[in-house]
């Protein structure tokens, strides 16, 4: 993590563009929608705040799917000398019996157990809204637009990215007019440990109609891993789990099947060249605006960027076709 | 009801057709559930499916999760069954899927729902919802979206043997937790055999779609978020299903033999 000022990359924070060429693709339509979640709260004595913080660290933090970094866990209770504290989200524990079992090991006494308080799932993008939400729902912490930090934390090897994009663009154009058994759509999977690159291309009219370039890429990474594991001198440090932390480059924005397959495969990042207006499932403006990689209900996520400009042309594909 | 207090013929015919249809679905779902038990016993996630050729009412393929063995995150049960069908009819023959009903213990994930729609499947019947990744209503409704081959539509029948599907997943989570190096607190993971979350039918069907499928007499199940069945058929999920699996494989092989005979009638006379 670097300070914003020290970041060597030029970032347009307002528009989410890095080095004038990579457009961050995210579900910004919903950023200022609080997406409220219910939390379990109890009242404790003011003297127990330290024990409470310790208890949260030991028993709750690692288990709770919700993060509370943008929220003050502790606020004054209506009763003098008491605090109302957030123990955990109802996503972590849904029923009261389970909650009370968790609280059995709390090193402090408590009362007024409730699951009726709501908090925003993520912090808002502006300070004004942060104040507003603090008044309506629960006190928040303002640390700037959360997305600025997200943008600032991305790491890019631009020469490498350009080399891969240039290669998939070239391979896709070479497939035009060839009897290639599929559409001119090409993807590249980059192993995070070895930086090895696996290229895959669409084969829907030869093998299976479901053999889109991304599905084939995922399958070939798995096949290679199976082969590697069965070899007598397989080394543990080379092991890959699914496509964990892979970067995936693709010529055309993925369809609903492929966008979800990338979630199942646990990739880190996807960079695509051409938006698919009707069938794409990553860009907010494509298809049904799924923004699959940053969909709130899908707990696994990946980063997505679209390359801006015309440096890497790709073959035109009918906008109703799933890529 | 007609004037003499008897149900009119059209109503009774309609309701008996519904009952027969549902019995059929339950029968095939029983097979899918047994197969999911088999998967659990063979170190996989207990999610399984059966593909039925609707016009001839025969099982033509099956699938179980294969992510552990294949090391691929996309080797879901549905894809295994699709591959079997493609092997029988040719991978480019998507017309066959117009005549195929899928029975799967858990709602297809978004990826599988999309794959099934792209192939043009006729009907999808499932047990419980998939609250993390469901693509037929729980998270997204791929089957009726406009970005995934909108001209392909398929019918959806949720909630068949739902409790059995949920129980199998609970067995799995309890086992995984016991094996985990850092098991979660016992209370979090105690096996519950009697309480089931309410069935939110509205995620998958409109009220009138529900009535169309299950009959007007069952509409209270929709309104009160009730399961179709009050009891759990433990025999499906608590027994070893190795023999069932052997028979299922044979049944699928037989289907392909019958189809192979059709284009070559001369082999019958010789």
Structural domain contains residue A22: no
Structural domain that includes position A179: 157-233+240-307
In chain B, the percentage of residues whose pLDDT exceeds 70 is 87
Return the pLDDT at B234: 96
Residue A243 tokens read as 């496509």
List chain A residues with CB under 8 Å of B115: 210, 257
For the beta sheet containing A36-45, the strands, ordered from the edge strand earlier in sequence to the opposite edge, are A74-76, A82-89, A36-45, A110-120
Query: How far is Cα B252 from Cα B235, in angstroms, rounded to an integer?
Result: 23
Cα dihedral sign for A130, A131, A137, A140?
positive
From B188's Cα to the closest Cα of chain A, the distance in A is 6
- Search chain A and give the residue with CA nearest B146: A288
Contact check, Cβ <8 Å, B185/A101: yes
The answer on A171 and A96 residing in a single domain is no
Report the C-alpha gap between B173 and B182 in whole angstroms: 13
Instruction: Tell whether the model's pLDDT for residue A202 goes beyond 90.
Output: yes
Is residue A128 in some structural domain?
no
Task: List, as one string, the DSSP characters of B71-82.
Answer: --TT--HHHHHH
pLDDT score of A52: 95
Q: Which residues of A touch B118 (CB under 8 A)?
A: 209-210, 255, 257, 322
CATH number, domain containing residue A191: 3.40.140.10
CA A53 to chain centre: 28
Contact state of B82 with A210 under an 8 Å Cβ cutoff:
yes
> Is A291 a member of any domain?
yes
Final residue belonging to a domain, choices A73, A105, A121: A121
Examine the domain organization and report whether A224 and A301 are in the same domain. Answer: yes
| Continuous segment of H or E residues that includes residue B216 | none
pLDDT digits (tens, 9 = 90+) for A282-311: 999 999 999 999 988 887 789 999 999 889
pLDDT for B258 equals 60
A168 in reach of chain B (CB within 8 A): no
List of chain A residues whose C-beta atoms are within 8 Å of the C-beta of residue B135? 256, 260
As a whole number of angstroms, the distance between CA A173 and CA A315 comes to: 6
Mean of all residue pLDDT scores within chain B: 89
Going by the DSSP 8-state scheme, the letter that residue B220 receives in this structure is H
In the prediction, which pLDDT does B261 show? 45
Chain B CB contacts of A102 under 8 Å are 185, 187
Nearby residues of A147 by Cβ (< 8 Å), 6 or more positions away: A13, A16, A26, A28, A31, A125
CA distances to A137, B82, B156, B199 from B29, rounded to whole Å, are: 45, 17, 14, 18
Alpha-carbon Rg for chain B, nearest whole angstrom, is 20
Distance (Å, rounded) from C-alpha B238 to C-alpha B164?
Answer: 10
Which of B63, B74, B79, B138 best probes binding to A when mutated, by most A CB atoms within 10 angstroms? B74
Residues of B with CB under 8 A from a CB of A: 70-75, 79, 82-83, 86, 91-92, 94, 109-111, 113-115, 118-119, 132-133, 135, 139-140, 142, 145-149, 184-185, 187-188
Does residue A181 share a domain with residue A53?
no
Distances (CA, A) of B182 to A92, B177, B188: 17, 8, 13
Confidence of residue B259 (pLDDT cuts 50, 70, 90): low
Does A200 contact chain B (CB < 8 Å)?
no
Is the residue at B124 inside a domain?
yes
Q: Is residue B23 part of a domain?
A: yes
3-state secondary structure chain A: CCCHHHCCCCEECCCCEECCCEEECCCHHHCCCCCEEEEEEEEEEHHHHHHHHHHHHHHHCCCCCCCCCCECCEEECCCCCEEEEEEEECCCCCCHHHHHHHHCCCCCCEEEEEEEEEEECCCCCCHHHHHHHHHHCCCECCCCCHHHHHHHHCCCCHHHHHHHHHHHHHHHHHCCCCCCCCCCCEEEEECCCCCCEEEEECCCCCCCCCCCHHHHHHHHHHHHHHHHHHCCCCCHHHCCCCCCCCEEEEEECCCHHHHHHHHHCCCCEEEEEECCCCCCCCCCCCCCCCCHHHCCCCCCCCEEEEECCCCCCCCCCCCCCCC
pLDDT at B183: 64
- Of the residues B44, B78, B107, B164, only one is catalytic, namely B78
Residue A9: inside a domain, yes or no? no
Is residue A172 pLDDT above 90, yes or no? yes
Q: Is residue A11 part of a domain?
A: no
What mean pLDDT comes out for the span B150-162?
A: 96
Residue A25 lies in a domain: no
Rounded to the nearest angstrom, the minimum Cα separation between B260 and chain A is 21
The CATH number linked to A67 is 3.30.70
Beta bridge partners of B102: B51, B124
Total structural domains within chain A:
2
Instruction: State whether A242 and B71 contact (CB < 8 Å).
Output: yes
A170, A61: one domain:
no
For B99-152, what is each residue's pLDDT tens digit?
999 999 999 999 999 999 999 999 999 999 999 999 999 999 999 999 999 999
Phi, psi of A136 (to 5 degrees): -80, -45
* Domain of residue B24, residue span: 18-176+234-260
> What ipTM was estimated for this complex?
0.89
Q: Under an 8 A CB cutoff, do B146 and A287 touch?
A: yes
DSSP state of B134: B
Pair A120, A70: CB distance under 8 Å: yes
Say whether B119 and A205 touch across the interface (CB within 8 A). no
**B43: CATH:** 3.40.140.10
**pLDDT over 50 (residue B264):** no
User: Is residue B263 predicted with pLDDT exceeding 70?
Assistant: no
Give the pLDDT score at B15: 81
What's the rounded Cα separation, in Å, for the pair A293 and A303? 7
User: Which residues 262-291 of A have a C-beta within 8 angstroms of B?
Assistant: 263-266, 278-281, 286-288, 290
Q: Are A48 and A108 in contact (CB under 8 A)?
A: yes
* The total number of structural domains that make up chain B: 1
Residue in this structure with the two tokens 């003297």, named with its chain if needed? A47
Q: In angstroms, rounded to a whole number, what is the distance separating the alpha carbons of residues A302 and A263? A: 7
Do the beta carbons of residue B77 and residue B44 sit within 8 Å? Answer: no
Distance of residue B252 Cα from the nearest chain A Cα, in angstroms: 21
Residue B175 burial (CB count, 10 A): 14
pLDDT tens across B38-82, in order?
Answer: 999 998 999 999 999 999 999 999 999 998 888 999 999 999 999
Question: Could you tell me if residue B132 is inside a domain?
Answer: yes
pLDDT (0 to 100) of residue B106? 98
Pick from B73, B145, B147: CB nearest A265? B73
Asked if residue A152 belongs to a domain, the reply is no
The yes-or-no answer on residue B164 being catalytic is no
B195 within some domain: no
Q: How far apart are CA A145 and CA A149, in angstroms?
A: 7
Same domain? A165 vs A283:
yes
The residues near A62 (Cβ < 8 Å, ≥ 6 apart) are none
């Amino acid at each position: 993590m670097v300070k914003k000022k020290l970041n060597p990359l030029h970032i347009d924070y307002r528009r989410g563009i890095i080095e004038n060429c990579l457009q961050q693709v995210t579900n910004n339509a919903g950023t200022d929608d609080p997406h409220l979640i219910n939390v379990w709260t109890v009242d404790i004595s003011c003297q127990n705040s330290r024990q409470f913080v310790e208890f949260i660290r030991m028993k709750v933090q690692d288990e709770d799917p919700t993060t509370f970094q943008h929220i003050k866990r502790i606020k004054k209770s209506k009763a003098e000398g008491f605090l109302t504290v957030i123990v955990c989200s109802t996503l972590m524990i849904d029923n009261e019996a389970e909650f009370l079992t968790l609280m059995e090991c709390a090193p402090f006494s408590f009362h007024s157990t409730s699951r009726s308080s709501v908090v925003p799932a993520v912090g808002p993008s502006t300070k004004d809204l942060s104040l507003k939400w603090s008044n309506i729902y629960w006190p928040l912490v303002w640390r700037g637009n959360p997305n600025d930090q997200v943008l600032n934390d991305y790491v890019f090897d631009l020469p490498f990215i350009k080399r891969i994009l240039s290669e998939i663009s070239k391979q896709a154009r070479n497939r035009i007019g060839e009897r290639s058994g599929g559409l001119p759509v090409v993807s590249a999977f980059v192993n995070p440990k070895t930086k090895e690159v696996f290229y895959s291309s669409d084969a829907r009219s030869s093998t299976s109609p479901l053999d889109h370039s991304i599905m084939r890429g995922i399958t070939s990474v798995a096949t290679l891993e199976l082969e590697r594991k069965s070899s007598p001198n397989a080394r543990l440090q080379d092991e890959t789990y699914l496509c964990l932390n892979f970067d995936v480059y693709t010529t055309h924005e993925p369809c609903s099947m492929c966008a979800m397959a990338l979630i199942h495969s646990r990739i880190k990042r996807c960079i695509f060249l051409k938006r698919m207006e009707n069938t794409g499932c990553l860009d907010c403006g494509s298809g049904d605006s799924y923004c699959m990689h940053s969909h709130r209900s899908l707990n696994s996520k990946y980063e997505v960027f679209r390359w801006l400009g015309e440096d890497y042309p790709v073959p035109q594909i009918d906008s109703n076709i799933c890529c | 009801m007609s004037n003499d207090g008897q149900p009119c013929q059209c109503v009774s015919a309609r309701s008996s057709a519904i009952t027969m249809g549902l019995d059929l679905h339950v029968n095939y779902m029983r097979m899918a559930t047994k197969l999911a038990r088999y998967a659990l016993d063979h170190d996989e996630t207990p999610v399984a499916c059966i593909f039925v050729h609707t016009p001839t009412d025969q099982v033509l393929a099956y699938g179980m999760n294969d992510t552990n063995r294949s090391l691929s995150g996309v080797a879901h049960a549905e894809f295994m069954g699709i591959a079997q069908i493609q092997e029988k009819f040719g991978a480019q023959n998507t017309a066959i899927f117009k005549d195929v009903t899928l029975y799967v213990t858990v709602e297809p994930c978004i990826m599988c729902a999309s794959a099934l729609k792209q192939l043009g499947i006729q009907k999808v019947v499932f047990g419980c919802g998939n609250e993390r990744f469901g693509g037929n209503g729980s998270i997204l409704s791929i089957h009726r979206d406009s970005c995934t081959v909108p001209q392909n539509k398929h019918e959806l029948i949720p909630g068949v043997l739902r409790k059995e599907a949920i129980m199998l997943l609970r067995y799995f989570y309890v086992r995984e937790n016991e094996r985990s190096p850092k098991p979660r607190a016992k209370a979090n993971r105690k096996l519950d055999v009697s309480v089931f979350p309410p069935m939110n039918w509205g995620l998958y069907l409109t009220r009138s779609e529900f009535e169309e499928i299950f009959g007007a007499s069952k509409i209270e199940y929709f309104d009160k978020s009730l399961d179709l069945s009050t009891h759990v058929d433990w025999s499906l999920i608590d027994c070893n299903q190795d023999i069932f699996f052997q028979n299922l494989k044979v049944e699928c092989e037989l289907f392909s033999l019958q189809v192979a005979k059709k284009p070559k009638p001369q082999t019958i006379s010789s």
